[in-house]
Chain A
Amino acid sequence: MTAELFTAMRQSIVDGEAGAAGDLARQALATGVSPLDAIERGYVPGLTAVGEAFSAGDMFLPDMMLAARAMKAAVEILEPALKASGGQRQIAGRVVIGTIKGDIHEIGKNMVAMMLASAGFEIHDLGVDVPAERFAEKAAEVDADIVGVSALLTTTMAGQRNVVQAIVAAGLRSRVKIIVGGAPATQGWADEIGADGYSEDGVASVALARQLLGISA
């Protein structure tokens, strides 16, 4: 019975069905299935399958986003019970993320945040038009492992350099990894401004974050 439930949970993620994922989460709670088991043995294998299909070119970004949304729907239902039971899902790392000052484009940043959240990272999203100093303040406040800075415009990407400088000025550089992204950003740009990494899309950002924190996939 539980095995069937886990299979259905996996499939709800593969199909990107948030409603079904939520219903199955409620069913798990009603039948006494451990919330942690539901996440780790039910839903996470679905995400893994979607990630593998995406890498093979058999699934596309909308599949990934729908899968992530379904995962979020399930976790939101399971999380209160998980906390109440004293259990805790292992956090891969804490990430402060935002779009740089002067830039109000948020979709790319949101995609990265959602992908990282699905992969088990704790996300602190500062939104858009964020001053460089705010990244440093938030990183200190939540003891972040990673700061992610997005910029869509060539005219605002120069601000990513300011975030690196703000993290240095705040004395956080040795314990915070800085990653940059956005259409004009490149690995060369990341190197030039002293960032730790660059990824070209949300999916690649998960691998990058894991690599920077020494986490095996």
Chain B
Amino acid sequence: MGTTVEVLSPNDRAVIHERSLALLAETGVRVDTGRGRALLADAGALVDESTQIVRFPRGLIEESLRLAPRQFSLGGRRPGWRLPMNEGACSLVLDGEAATAVDALTGDRRPTTYDDWLSVTRLAEDIDEVGVYWRAVSAVSAGSAGSAGIPGEGPGEGPAAILHGWRDAYRHFTKHVQDSAASPEETGWLLELLGAVFGGRQAVRERMPFSFLLCPLSPLVLEGSFTDAYLATADWRIPVAVMPMPLMGLTGPASLTSTVVLANSEVLAVLCLAQAAAPGVPVIYAPASGVMDPRSGRYGGGPVELALLGSATTEMARFYGLPVQASTGGTDAHRPGTQASYERSMGWTLPVLSWPDLLVGPGLMDGSTVISVEQLLLDVEVFRRAARLRRGIGDPAGDPASGEVAAVGPGGTFLDRVVTRDAVRSGVWLLDRLGSHGTYDAWRAAGAKDVLEESRASAARMLAAHQDTPFDEHLARELDGLEDRAKASLRGTA
């Protein structure tokens, strides 16, 4: 059987659900978009226009939950590639958005650049465990990005820079892309890009190559422009990943369960809005609940409580039958090493055992502000180990090796058995990609490399072997034209 961990009992989940319904019905959510309030009012919510507070009756929430699809697949540009939700798979989502790069061996830090973004994106493209793109690096070094800090090949501003960032994402990453637009105008450019790359609106609706990351502002606020940006996708059936980020003790109450209630309420509020705008649109349950450092008020990426929150997130999504994207921080360490490794290992083991569909995210440190390609590969290795634990000890009733002891008999060996060979091939053993697992002499003979040096060498090999999947010339020209129009719109000449 697979290994399972539950941090919430069935009764706990029911209590959290009921507390959420009460919060949404009595306190409500401030919805800073007129369009959103109108949609919710039409759907049966109680709207106070003077305060912009929307209260959600139980019936509206239950009907909205009924409308949200339980199973669908995220797609991408790679032919035949799909990421099924709620079908037992778990895939990594890159973290975002590092403003600083660190040299794993020396600890030297510098502002991130476009090349950092490119390296991380190319590695993620080639790592099977990573299924979803986030902009892991926000290129902030002067001359390497536009005003919005968007990766790109040159400075730019406004919609053209943002559009170029999305184009670059699809050019270098052929699996699923998850991102946000900040305004309906940006969404317009995004949809044009998706239509061009994937062959029109209907193809996008069916293939789902993009999901919209929408973050309520904890506690209990749906921001105006950001939410309107999502609502502008309504005709395109773009899945929405709802990611409130309450910080226990700061923007969330000072207990883990009450923080879960808050995040759950915020997801349900957006779920109601999404279903009011486009009934049947896919919703991914994706709270990234965190905890404040009580000494500074800062977000902490390394607190062990994040693991409990990550598991609780997954369990509440399963309570509703919704696909889930769990986040468990990462590490507070400033560079790869002992602290980063134990915090990541503790932070991921529990949530992976709860088994979300998607898990954010490898590679970043220092409260998700610092990138290291070495850490990216180490984190993937942690995930592989945790996923092996999840796969479990096996089924004693259907065990292919059940007759082996009798067949070999007293005093024999199992080494030359077909069952043993097949077991190695089938993943009974997790075969490590990194780290020293042989003899000391062999390790010395190979250069006595530290795991960080080994990880760096591995990343270098992967990048050297990487092959881009460029757009065809016709599409590239079409996207050039789109970018030109975006630039012209900024100059007011469109």
Contacts and interface: CB of A to CB of B under 8 A. Distances in A.
Interface of A: 54, 57, 60-62, 102, 104, 107-108, 111, 153-158, 183-184, 186, 188-189, 192, 200-203
B16 interface: no
Given A155-B148, A200-B298, A107 B111 contact: no
B296 A155 contact: no
| Interface size bracket, B side | 20 to 34
B296 A158 contact: no
Contacts of B98: 154
21 contacts: A54-B295, A61-B293, A61-B295, A107-B250, A108-B297, A153-B97, A154-B99, A154-B138, A154-B149, A155-B149, A156-B149, A157-B149, A158-B140, A158-B148, A158-B149, A183-B298, A184-B100, A186-B109, A189-B111, A189-B140, A201-B298
Contacts of B249: 62
B81 to A, nearest CB: 28
B369 interface: yes
Contacts of A107: 250-251, 297
B10 interface: no
Interface in B111-150: 111, 138, 140, 142, 145, 147-150
Contact of B367 (A155, A183, A189): A183
A60 B295 CA distance: 5
A202 B298 contact: no
Given A192-B111, A192-B142, A203 B97 contact: no
Contacts of A108: 297
B115 to A, nearest CB: 17
B297 A183 contact: no
B17 to A, nearest CB: 28
Contacts of A157: 99, 140, 149
A56 B278 CA distance: 54
A111 B297 contact: yes
Contacts of A102: 182
B296 A184 contact: no
A108 B249 CA distance: 13
Contact of A60 (B140, B147, B294): B294
B217 interface: yes
Given A107-B250, A107-B251, A155-B138, A189 B99 contact: yes
B157 to A, nearest CB: 11
Interface string B248-284: 0111000000000000000000000000000000000
Chain B interface, DSSP helix/strand/loop, else mixed: loop
Contacts of B292: 61
Query: Which 8 residue pairs across A and B have the least CB separation, nearest first?
Result: A154-B138, A201-B296, A60-B294, A154-B99, A184-B99, A155-B149, A154-B97, A61-B297
A60 B250 CA distance: 13
Interface string B76-106: 0000000000000000000001111000000
Contact of A188 (B109, B138, B298): B109
Given A60-B295, A62-B249, A104-B217, 7 more contacts: A61-B292, A154-B99, A155-B148, A183-B369, A184-B99, A202-B297, A203-B296
B297 A155 contact: no
A201 B297 contact: yes
Contacts of B296: 61, 200-201, 203
A155 B109 CA distance: 19
B449 interface: no
A13 to B, nearest CB: 19
Contacts of B223: 104
Contact of B97 (A104, A155, A192): A155
B189 interface: no
A70 to B, nearest CB: 18
Nearest to B223: A104
B110 interface: yes
Contacts of B99: 154, 157, 184, 189
Given A57-B295, A62-B249, A108-B297, A186 B100 contact: yes
Nearest to B109: A188
A107 B98 CA distance: 21
B173 interface: no
Nearest to A152: B299
Contacts of A188: 100, 109-111
Nearest to B148: A155
A183 B223 CA distance: 20
A61 B138 CA distance: 30
A191 B294 CA distance: 28
Nearest to B250: A107
B305 to A, nearest CB: 15
Contacts of A153: 97
Nearest to B369: A184
Nearest to B138: A154
Contacts of B138: 154-155
A24 to B, nearest CB: 27
A189 B140 CA distance: 9
Nearest to B292: A61
A154 B217 contact: no
B402 to A, nearest CB: 54
A125 B165 CA distance: 34
A158 B111 CA distance: 11
Most buried by B among A61, A153, A155, A188: A155
Given A183-B369, A184-B369, A188-B109, A158 B251 contact: no
A52 to B, nearest CB: 15
Contacts of B109: 186, 188
Nearest to A186: B100
B326 to A, nearest CB: 21
A182 to B, nearest CB: 10
Contacts of B369: 154, 183-184
B294 A154 contact: no
Interface in B204-252: 217, 223, 249-251
A163 to B, nearest CB: 14
A157 B112 CA distance: 13
A67 B370 CA distance: 34
Contacts of B217: 104
Given A154-B99, A157-B99, A61 B294 contact: yes
A60 B291 CA distance: 14
B365 to A, nearest CB: 13
B294 A62 contact: yes
Contacts of B250: 107
